[in-house]
Structure 1
């Protein structure tokens, strides 16, 4: 009696191939989902780290700004918005400062701060400047800011000589004077970049700084890219009962269209 040869039929092979294909498809899909989750998570972490760095830098710089120096410029077509402010180089007390046209332009300034460089003609001296236009106005026509032609620093005391004909309009209740470095701007453009500008000089009317003065410190912002999205900057001027408040709202979108935003309220003490 002949014994039947053992083996697989064609149908059985096809069934096995189909089953292996199904298993392979699900396996690759599982691996693909894992890869997608890893890429999405890594992108989210990278965006979160960048956004935290950005908001922390903006916050720290604004907290060290001259009171009432913050102002905002928004383009008519919402293609950019810029927040400008004056960094504090140092602050202290003045003695013998001029407050009339006939007064001597020489006086003494005392600051207990030690880590600051000398006052230069590019800096401005502020006494009781309670409005932004007092700070940015042309120094030749206003009396809340002065420019030093010479300084002599000895320990905590600096002897200052103002430009010819300059004097201050009004005494500070605490004889406080701020030395402000040239203005700095943070601008958000429609391309989603946050750019920091410096060394572009003083402008009585706020303008968008030249591109050559800018450094990108943040990307993937969507404040100006979607209708209904809140603008990044708003300034509430100081009053007798309220500090100068700067609102910073930065919104980002990840590669998977997830929204991430920071809403920061920064107070600059109203102590002119």
Structure 2
């Protein structure tokens, strides 16, 4: 009687063939998983970088005209957010004028104009609002309190919005250096700064008008930046002229975990309407 079965050699051959097939199968699955992980990381970086550029763009477009400036070797962009905009009447333009004005504003989203130091934190970082009239250069926006005459002033006390027309009492002896041709006035909040530091884009706020931001108080907006290592200029500001808007160039260079480059080159126009 003949016994049916496999020889030892046949079994070894089958095992070797199965091992080879399994190796190629797992390798194929591994390549697919690797491609998925690479695509996911690339998509995450793309979404993160788009969010960063969109965040800067939206905030810039709601800034006081001519307030954008670069600092720290073109690696930081600073500007003043608008709290309210409108028209002024009876504003003081000489030391003999009354330190008050009428402010007409249809802007929504604000309910008061903040005075000066009201808390311990504010004593270190003055977080008051500034009123701007015809501030045509960044130097006028960031002038300190010792410079006079100025193109900005602040209210004497916190002032609550009354209606479309609000009476504002300014600090004693306050007056503006020059009139606006169209009587425009902007109320600006303390400045904001976006900085490229190492591989991160960091947003700073609440550091006041006269102090540089504290490196520990920033919020990370995006990562994996290569501007610092490549020497690329992150921000550039072209100042407004009579027939030209204020233009801000943003250049952010990212690199994925797989060393794939990703560039964002954005140009933002800010209306020249001081």
Same fold (TM over 0.5): yes
The counterpart of 2:84, out of the listed 86, 90, 98, is 90
Partner of 1:247: 249
TM-score w.r.t. length of structure 1: 0.90
Q: Which residue of 1 aligns with 2:213?
A: 209
CA distance in 1, matches of 2:146, 2:188: 17
* Residue of structure 2 equivalent to 1:133: 139
Name the stretch that deviates more: 168-177 or 15-24.
15-24
- The CA RMSD over aligned residues, in Å, is 1.7
Write the distance in 1 (CA, Å) between the matches of 2:55 and 2:86.
Answer: 25
Q: Equivalent residue for 1:194? A: 201
> CA distance change for structure 1 residues 7 and 114 in 2, over 3 Å: closer, same or farther?
closer
CA contact (8 A) 2:134 2:180 kept: yes
Secondary structure of 1:25's match? helix
**C-alpha displacement of 1:35:** 0.8
Q: Does residue 1:220 correspond to 2:224, yes or no?
A: yes
Please say if residues 139 and 146 of structure 1, whose CA atoms lie closer than 8 Å, have aligned partners that are also in contact: no
| Aligned-residue offset at 1:99 | 0.6
Match of 1:119 among 106, 113, 121: 113
State the SS of the aligned residue for 1:93. Answer: strand
Give CA-to-partner distance per residue, 1:55-100, whole Å, 9 cap, x none.
111110000000111111124xxxx821110000010000000111
- Structure 2 gap ranges (5+): 116-127
Partner residue in 2 for 1:235: 237
1:148 corresponds to? 155
Q: Is the 8 A contact 2:111 2:160 kept in 1?
A: no
Q: Deviations over 1:144-203 (max 9, x none)?
A: 11111133532101111111222111110100000000001011101x111111110113
* Alpha-carbon separation, structure 2, partners of 1:199 and 1:213: 9
Q: For structure 1, list consecutive stretches of 5 or more residues without a partner in the other structure.
A: none
Q: Using a 3 Å threshold, how does the CA distance of structure 1 residues 251 and 208 change in structure 2: closer, same or farther?
A: farther
- Secondary structure of the 1:262 match is strand
1:1-272, aligned counterparts within 5 Å? 5-75=3-73, 81-121=75-115, 122-142=128-148, 143-150=150-157, 151=159, 153-190=161-198, 192-203=199-210, 208-227=212-231, 230-272=232-274
Per mean C-alpha deviation after superposition, the further-off stretch among 100-109 and 136-145 is 136-145
Q: Is 2:99–2:175's contact at 8 Å kept on the other side of the alignment?
A: yes
Q: Number of residue pairs matched?
A: 260
1:131-155, Cα deviation, whole Å (9 max, x unpaired)? 1110101134232111111335321
1:192-217 CA-to-partner distances (Å, cap 9, x unmatched) read: 111111110113xxx75102431112
Partners of 2:2 and 2:15 lie apart in 1 by 25
